[in-house]
Structure 1
Amino acid sequence: MFDWDLLDILLPALAAGVLVLSTHVLLGRQVLRRGIIFIDLAIAQVAALGAIAAHMHPTLEHAPFSGVWMPALFALAGAGLIAWLSKRMGDELEAMIGCLYVLAAVAAMLLLANDPHGAELLKQLMSGQILWVSFEQLWLPALVSVAVLLLIGLRPTVLDGAGFYLIFALVITLSVELVGVYLVFSTLILPALAVNKFAAKSALGWAYLVGLAGYLSGLLLSALFDLPSGAVIVATLAASALIFRLVSRAARANVAA
Structure 2
Amino acid sequence: MFDVELLSILLPALAAGLLVLSTHVLLGQQVLKRGIIFIDLAIAQVAALGAIVSHIDHRLEDLPYAHVWMPALFALGGAGIIAWMAKRLVGELEAFIGCFYVLSAVAAMLLLANDPHGAELLKQLMSGQILWVSWSQLALPAVVSAGILGIIIAKPQILDGAGFYFLFALVITLSVELVGVYLVFSTLILPALALNQYHGKPKLALAYGVGIVGYIAGLLLSASYDLPSGAAIVATLALSAFLFRMLLKLRLPVLAG
Are 1:251 and 2:254 an aligned pair?
A: no
Are 1:8 and 2:8 an aligned pair?
A: yes
1:53-74 per-residue CA deviation (whole Å, 9 max, x = no partner) reads 0001010011100000000000
1:207-243 per-residue CA deviation (whole Å, 9 max, x = no partner) reads 0011000000000100010000000000000000000
Q: Check conservation: 1:2, 1:224, Cα contact below 8 A.
A: no
SS at match of 2:253: helix
Matches within 5 A, 1:75-224: 75-224=75-224
Q: Which consecutive aligned stretches of 4+ in structure 1 deviate over 3 angstroms post-superposition?
A: 1-4
- Give the Cα–Cα distance (whole angstroms) in 2 for the partners of residues 217 and 2 of structure 1: 14
- Give the Cα–Cα distance (whole angstroms) in 2 for the partners of residues 20 and 253 of structure 1: 31
Q: 2:74 maps to which residue?
A: 74
- Give the Cα–Cα distance (whole angstroms) in 2 for the partners of residues 196 and 187 of structure 1: 14
Go from structure 1 to structure 2 and tell me whether the alpha carbon gap of 1:109 and 1:196 turns closer, same or farther (over 3 Å shift). Answer: same
Matches within 5 A, 1:48-63: 48-63=48-63
Q: Which amino acid aligns with 1:30?
A: Q
- Give the Cα–Cα distance (whole angstroms) in 1 for the partners of residues 254 and 178 of structure 2: 41
Are 1:239 and 2:239 an aligned pair?
A: yes
- Give the Cα–Cα distance (whole angstroms) in 1 for the partners of residues 224 and 168 of structure 2: 34
What is the TM-score with the length of structure 2 in the denominator? 0.98
1:106-163 per-residue CA deviation (whole Å, 9 max, x = no partner) reads 0000000000000000000000000000000000000000001111001000101000
User: Percent identity among equivalent residues?
Assistant: 71
Q: Which runs of 5+ in 2 are unaligned?
A: none
SS at match of 1:142: helix
SS at match of 2:196: coil
- Give the Cα–Cα distance (whole angstroms) in 2 for the partners of residues 254 and 63 of structure 1: 56
Alpha carbon RMSD of aligned pairs, Å? Answer: 1.1
Q: Which amino acid aligns with 1:145?
A: S
Q: What is the CA distance between 1:3 and its match in structure 2?
A: 3.3
Query: How many pairs does the alignment contain?
Result: 255
Q: Check conservation: 1:45, 1:101, Cα contact below 8 A.
A: yes
Q: 2:33 maps to which residue?
A: 33
- Give the Cα–Cα distance (whole angstroms) in 2 for the partners of residues 7 and 154 of structure 1: 36
Q: Which runs of 5+ in 1 are unaligned?
A: none
SS at match of 1:109: helix
SS at match of 2:104: helix
Q: What is the CA distance between 1:254 and its match in structure 2?
A: 9.0
